[in-house]
Chain A
């Protein structure tokens, strides 16, 4: 196949890559080279293209090229109703699909002014925290796999399969389950699922310690990650970091405490914060967050009372199927809602939740019709990839892989 020539790299990208940099290397070998870490790569967590400018083994410049998974979500959202967009939100951050569902319906309910019953709120919280645990397990596993520890990946995937079994029984699908509805959730949580969840969160601490025992005292792992990809507090805030990456740089900011949604103000949990800001600190923040999420799920299981799972608003909330087939008004409401959509008032709203990667927000502008006039998805992975050139400067090529793994980008969300 052809070598990478100047025609393969777009001239504007080449110009940006070759501009003057503030790194000076005093080395006898003055050979610079442009390396294409292409969209298809085992360690770039999806289709991310990085163009690296190398001097020997040291990186002196980097230009990320995104857009290989741009599917046109925002344009599609302008053409479909609020209910029809729920399965699309699953595929945004596809490792923790239920958290995206929760974010979308919370934004729509804020716009339309719908109140959700308590049991549905607790079920949503439980499901969102399980999604966070699943996402962090994959992040830890693939991060360790990139650095070289292959066994950890299979062990964390074994834990994740248990969560997927729970989702299979609760939602009907093991992955990309569009479980939440506007006004509540789709099904009630059966006692079988609740006992499985209780068993899982009781055991996750020991299982995670088993996976960690391979890594935390491993000299190769620690030396490979200590001091790599360091970012200071002011830079992290200026680059728009949120989520575990920000908490690893010393800023105690969590949207579940700063702007509480659902019932998070009644739950007691800690926020893990580390001060160093390097890749190792981000790994520790994620393992601590898995344990905190398990605590949240336990408290939800205790606080949950039997009750309704959907709000009783016939004009906006889809009625139960049993009633649709037997009563007249429910049939008419079902028809109107499915074909014309709910009609929220004119206005715009921005609502964000603490997703597993950071702050996932939806900005919806409505003109009173059944479909949004504009929908913008604020995805944390997009913002984090922007800071990659700043993080990799001065490191070796093999550190680039560790840094990308510690940032934990998901391209489905970054490219929308």
Chain B
């Protein structure tokens, strides 16, 4: 029993980590709830599908174009949606919400569920670990997740751009006075934020829900993790991802899958009551 909970917990934790890191990074740098991020999840399978099936390109090429388009989406979102509305939280909230819903409906119009959007696992087969079967691709997802987060940590701690991002996340005005180009840092943060969820969705799509409305449940998970970890703090996000991953695994296995979301929400509420700023105080991105 413990091996099942542990392995599923590890798998879910790694997936949740990738899903929530980008959202948390954007919050950490901008201090905004960027709901336009939701569509980043949905873009992964659908943009890939368009170039793979509609334009008959090879799957790796379709992935590459999808990533380029995701970057362009981030830049466009920042330039035309976030930047002009940064001073007005209400308007920004509405704008990002509308972007998300607009793209969701657009995707649903062209590719409803019956269109059968999917793509195959590029790592075939499973391995038996203890009493559970684990798809090789999901195992690879776990390894990539950990490697990616370590790389991100290294990037934030050891590179000049990383230092700038941390500086802006701590105190934007002070960073600006120190000569940091805040506009450029924001842009970097937006671009970096799309990589963890994009890589995650590429890895898990063969085993996960693909629908035009797949973004919201993922965003909700990211939101819960961010609240527990401390809004916008990546160290907190890592810890919270593992807490929620193992909690979901245990609750689902021991009780019922019905209680997984409830357990996560309960955990988030508890944190809000006992440590309102999260496990790690979220005043900076790292």
Report whether chain A binds chain B: no
Q: Which residues of B contact A (CB under 8 A)?
A: none
- Please list the residues of chain A having a beta carbon within 8 angstroms of any beta carbon in chain B: none
